[in-house]
Amino acid sequence: IIMWLFFLVWATDTGGYVFGKTIGGPKLAPRFSPKKTWAGLIGGMICAGIIGGLVTYFSSDSVNWIIVGVSMVLAIVAQIGDLGESALKRRFEIKDSSGLIPGHGGLLDRADGMLSVFPVAFAIICFAGLSLR
């Protein structure tokens, strides 16, 4: 489950970047993160859904479409976490949250999606009784 969530957030970030750069279009939240686009969000959701499908296929030889859908919803949660961290940085006029990872906006840019996805995924898995098998 932990690896699924890591892959899901990474796929959301990567898919969002690739789709956003390739397609462009209207901005998602220009006040907080001026480069994020709706195409990037949708691309991130598609990539997260693919990860959900692959994880369930390789763990049980069939695709669990509920996990695919949950993965896509969690991609939205990851974007909300990313936008929240960007909003905080803009509010306090901080360019990077740390200098640990040069060129990435800091350590929080690598963890913001995880910080929002993990508790939501925990609630969904525990209270809805979902499993990857």
Provide DSSP, 58-96. HHHSS--HHHHHHHHHHHHHHHHHHHHHHHHHHHTT-S-
In this predicted model, what pLDDT tens digit does every residue of 12-59 receive, in sequence order? 999 999 999 999 999 999 888 888 999 999 999 999 999 999 999 999
pLDDT of residue 107: 62
Is residue 103 over pLDDT 70?
no
- Which residue type sits at 47? C
Query: What span, in angstroms and rounded, lies between the C-alpha atoms of 59 and 100?
Result: 35
> Residue ranges of the domains in the chain?
2-128
For 7-11, 86-90, 122-126, which range has the lowest pLDDT when averaged over its residues?
86-90
